[in-house]
Amino acid sequence: MDPVVVAGLVPDAHAGAHLLAVPRSRGAARTPVDALARAWFPEAGWITTPGSGGAARPMAGARFRGVVPDAVVAPGVLALVEGARAIGPFPVTVPQTQALDLASGAAEIFALELDDPPPRGAPAAVPDDRDGVARAFPAGLPQGAELQVLGWAVAVARRVGGAVVVDGRSVLTPDPASGVDLTLYSAQVLAPEDVLGVLRTVVPSAQLVSVEPRADGPSDVAASGDTPYDGAVRLWMQRVPEVPLALGVLDWREYGPYAYRVSWSPADPYELAVERPSGLHLIARSRARVLVARLAAMLQGRLAGTLVDDGGFLVRDLDLDERLTPVPTPTSQFWV
């Protein structure tokens, strides 16, 4: 990315921080950034809400011209974990949005700051680097609070179609369509044959893989079905000791301790761990994403409960509707 463009994203006081870019026209409008933070960090919350300091003063100089226009409210301070916070939002110009490769025409930036960042770890080959984190840290991977905050930022970027700027130089743009798996948390229980019956509505060849009795409740059940071309769709049901933090904001009657995890296993699992998978994988993933969403919607309609995605965020009706629409595969993708 052009370093001049990066330099203009936030005021100089936050120039050394990692940055989270969030489109205004997608999930961020439905799920505020503080709610996304509480899905990962139980104590997250605004220390200073945006705008509570009045209008922000435009920054002087050609480099910042148009970055903070008149009447834009002052940024807020959002606590994440101890010693870490997000400062923002700062508005982003159209050229900057384009430079970040965001599909949305309007976006905003949050600076991610730590009081005392822990030392980076030794360089390491990471087997699963689908988001490019190891690529962005060739000298050593982040540790501790920095790793937690960066992991959250990448998960948010994947959820809403945003981007993360690491150390002011490397841009991570996780593909929103790479999030396929869903989990329903419900108070209702299905018998093993019913679990299989639900999966067979989308994969007729599905079979029970395991039924493991439990002394404290219903059996754990796993079923799996191979599709003709796109790998396998799997459904697990089990009672879990803990539920995701995101469910804590809901009334307890909106979810339960029984987790129904719907997941996809591609023909070549290695493709799940690479930043740029093949076009064939993307085609299969797009179709599988629709199957998984359809199955999750069917389970929710039958059992009630609340859906959570593989980033730990709540999945509402509009989010599920988006998943039920196949994602077009870029024609420029390399197919082999």
Of 96, 123, 121, which is closest to residue 108 (Cα–Cα)? 96
Query: Who's near 202: CB < 8 A, 6+ residues apart?
Result: 225, 233, 291, 294, 295, 298
By mean pLDDT, which of 68-77, 103-112, 126-135, 305-314 is the weakest?
A: 68-77
What's 292's DSSP letter? Answer: H
Q: Phi-psi region for residue 118, left (φ > 0), alpha (ψ -120 to 50) or beta?
A: beta
**Hey, which of 63-67, 323-327, 330-334 has the most confident mean pLDDT?**
323-327
Question: Domain limits of the chain?
Answer: 3-173, 178-323
Over residues 197-221, the mean pLDDT reads 95
pLDDT tens digits, 116-139: 887 887 766 666 788 888 888 888
Residue 17 tokens read as 């921080």
pLDDT tens digits, 6-39: 556 776 667 678 999 998 865 444 689 999 999 9
The predicted structure's pLDDT at residue 97: 84
**Would the pTM count as exceeding 0.85?**
yes
The predicted structure's pLDDT at residue 330: 56
pLDDT band at 152 (very low <50, low <70, confident <90, very high): very high
Taking a C-beta distance cutoff of 8 angstroms, is the pair 149, 84 a contact? yes
The predicted structure's pLDDT at residue 64: 39
Q: Is 70 exceeded by the pLDDT of residue 251?
A: yes
d(CA 149, CA 155): 10
